């Protein structure tokens, strides 16, 4: 059996939809999640016999039904690097970096969009549309090109230039808006209503999160089917966080891992930290952030559809949420470069800055296994990163 995908289930009201339905949100307005026949998968799939070098090695736990529908540029199975120099600097013996910049299109967005585009094409969709802070747009355009779909990407006018140029070279229709990703989202919704495009916005489409969850499967596999004690993740729309949390539940049901979970840490920029604020205030949902601003474009998400799911994962895991300044973000990028040879995105720099704060606050044990996510490549942000002199960040 190629896939054990069974049905879609609303994350809030639990209403079910058949696997063949073309869906965005549930009728109640909340995100849908893919559910699998896990008992049957557990009996048939041997975790030690997984085949292939991309995220499609987990195809049994992905929604694409037919092997012929897979759309791949080689995404996933990114390195998990033991960061000894950075760890020594921070006073952590087991610091690892999951380097997602090595994905096709230079970010972890490749995972979600590979699966979402493959599934869209499988369901007969021909035109897709996405609002993006940059990386998701590039990935959507690339996978749409590979699948032969038409892509419409709407981004804020001030996104780093590489994102615009990249999308154009993938042959996508690109529109720039004066505003934020939420404004881009409105343009996409209008375009979908008017032209019948299929909307791929974060969590308004159920399969991107399935691609993202493979980060959790890989982590477990790369650590010998154990999970780390702490995961530090730069959080915008939150699909990575939500996806990994979902993967842990699935892997436990499959009998692939034990019940212990990592503490999940969401790092946001101080200039746009709705999840951190809601976490600190103890509310189940996050109010929209006014005047969102940060160089970490992927973290400039003033309001997320998945806020409730993110907050629940942070709390259920005994995790936390941290906001970091722009100066800390730039310095984080520099430290990842100087200490470990990684040219990280500002979002990766933010994750490191968040971890430094937690270490300073004594939140972590020196011997804890900590996985830090560098979600994207610094090469996409050359115009932004060149604004600072790295020597001055030392």
Q: How far is the CB of 238 from ligand PLP (least distance, A)?
A: 4
Q: Strands across the sheet with 5-10, in order?
A: 16-17, 5-10, 32-36
Give the one residue of 104, 236, 302, 354 binding ligand PLP; rule: CB under 6 A: 236
The residue (of 65 and 76) whose beta carbon lies closer to ligand PLP is 76
The residue (of 11 and 135) whose beta carbon lies closer to ligand PLP is 135
Q: How far is the CB of 227 from ligand PLP (least distance, A)?
A: 19
Interatomic CA distance for residues 163 and 110, integer angstroms: 14
Question: Measured between alpha carbons, how far is residue 147 from residues 14, 64, 170, 314, 360 in Å?
Answer: 32, 14, 12, 35, 47
Q: How far is the CB of 363 from ligand PLP (least distance, A)?
A: 21
Give the one residue of 87, 237, 274, 332 binding ligand PLP; rule: CB under 6 A: 237
The residue (of 235 and 356) whose beta carbon lies closer to ligand PLP is 235
Interatomic CA distance for residues 122 and 267, integer angstroms: 35
Interatomic CA distance for residues 65 and 50, integer angstroms: 17
Chain-centroid distance, C-alpha 261: 19
Interatomic CA distance for residues 151 and 153, integer angstroms: 6
Neighbours of 53 (CB within 10 A): 9
Within 104-123, the residues that bind ligand PLP by CB under 6 A are 107, 109
The answer to whether 239 contacts ligand PLP (rule: CB under 6 A) is: yes
The answer to whether 240 contacts ligand PLP (rule: CB under 6 A) is: yes
The residue (of 254 and 306) whose beta carbon lies closer to ligand PLP is 306
The answer to whether 188 contacts ligand PLP (rule: CB under 6 A) is: no
Stretch that binds ligand PLP, among 88-96, 116-124, 132-140, 249-257 (CB under 6 A): 132-140
Q: How far is the CB of 279 from ligand PLP (least distance, A)?
A: 14
Stretch that binds ligand PLP, among 20-28, 229-237, 247-255, 330-338 (CB under 6 A): 229-237
- x/- map, 328-347, ligand PLP, by CB under 6 A: -----------------x-x
Closest alpha carbon to 384 in 215, 141, 376, 257: 376
Closest alpha carbon to 109 in 388, 297, 285: 297
Q: Is 76 helix (H, G, I), strand (E, B) or coil?
A: coil
- x/- map, 371-390, ligand PLP, by CB under 6 A: ----xx--------------
Residue 234, phi then psi, degrees to nearest 5: -75, 120
The residue (of 110 and 120) whose beta carbon lies closer to ligand PLP is 110
Q: Is 137 helix (H, G, I), strand (E, B) or coil?
A: helix
Neighbours of 249 (CB within 10 A): 14
Q: How far is the CB of 240 from ligand PLP (least distance, A)?
A: 4
Q: Is 231 helix (H, G, I), strand (E, B) or coil?
A: strand
Stretch that binds ligand PLP, among 17-25, 33-41, 233-241, 333-341 (CB under 6 A): 233-241
- x/- map, 246-285, ligand PLP, by CB under 6 A: ----------------------------------------
The answer to whether 136 contacts ligand PLP (rule: CB under 6 A) is: yes
The length of the chain, given as a count of residues? 394
Q: Where are the alpha helices (DSSP H) in the chain?
A: 38-44, 84-90, 109-122, 135-147, 161-169, 181-195, 208-222, 239-254, 274-281, 307-316, 326-340, 346-360, 382-385, 390-393
The answer to whether 211 contacts ligand PLP (rule: CB under 6 A) is: no
Q: How far is the CB of 196 from ligand PLP (least distance, A)?
A: 26
Give the one residue of 135, 247, 268, 294 binding ligand PLP; rule: CB under 6 A: 135
Q: Is 255 helix (H, G, I), strand (E, B) or coil?
A: coil
The answer to whether 202 contacts ligand PLP (rule: CB under 6 A) is: yes
Q: How far is the CB of 373 from ligand PLP (least distance, A)?
A: 8
- In the complex, the residues that contact ligand PLP under the rule CB under 6 A are 107, 109, 133, 135-136, 202, 234-240, 298, 345, 347, 375-376
């Amino acid at each position: 059996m190629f896939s054990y995908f069974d049905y879609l289930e609303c994350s809030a009201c639990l209403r079910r939809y058949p696997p063949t339905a073309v869906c965005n949100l549930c009728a109640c307005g909340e995100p849908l999640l893919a559910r699998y026949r896990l008992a049957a998968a557990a009996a048939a799939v041997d975790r030690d016999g997984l085949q292939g070098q991309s995220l499609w090695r987990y195809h049994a736990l992905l929604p694409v039904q037919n092997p012929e529908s897979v759309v791949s540029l080689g995404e996933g199975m990114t390195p998990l690097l033991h960061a000894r120099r950075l760890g020594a600097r921070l006073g952590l013996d087991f610091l690892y970096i999951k380097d997602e910049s090595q994905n096709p299109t230079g970010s972890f967005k490749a995972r979600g969009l590979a699966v979402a585009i493959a599934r869209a094409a499988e369901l007969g969709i021909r035109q897709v549309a996405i609002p993006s802070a940059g990386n998701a747009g590039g990935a959507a355009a690339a996978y749409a090109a590979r699948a032969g779909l038409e892509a419409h990407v709407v981004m804020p006018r001030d996104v780093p230039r590489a994102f615009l140029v990249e999308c154009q070279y993938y042959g996508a229709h690109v529109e720039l808006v004066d505003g934020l990703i939420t404004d881009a989202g409105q343009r996409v919704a209008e375009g979908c209503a008017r032209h019948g495009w299929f909307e791929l916005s974060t969590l308004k489409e159920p399969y991107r999160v399935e691609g993202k969850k493979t980060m959790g499967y890989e982590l477990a596999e790369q650590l010998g089917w154990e999970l780390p004690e702490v995961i530090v993740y730069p959080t915008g729309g939150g699909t990575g966080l939500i996806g990994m949390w979902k993967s842990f539940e699935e892997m436990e049901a499959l009998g692939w891992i034990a019940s212990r979970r990592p503490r999940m840490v969401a790092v946001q920029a101080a200039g746009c930290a709705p999840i951190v604020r809601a976490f600190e205030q103890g509310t189940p949902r996050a109010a929209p952030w006014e005047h969102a601003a940060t160089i970490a474009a992927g973290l400039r998400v003033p309001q997320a559809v998945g806020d409730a799911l993110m907050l629940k994962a942070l709390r259920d895991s005994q995790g936390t949420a941290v906001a970091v300044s722009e100066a800390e973000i730039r310095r984080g990028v520099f430290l990842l470069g100087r200490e470990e040879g990684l040219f990280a995105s500002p979002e990766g720099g933010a994750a490191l800055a968040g971890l430094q704060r937690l270490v300073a606050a004594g939140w972590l044990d020196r011997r804890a296994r900590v996985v830090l996510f560098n979600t994207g490549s610094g090469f996409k942000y050359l115009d932004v990163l060149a604004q600072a002199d790295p020597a001055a960040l030392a």
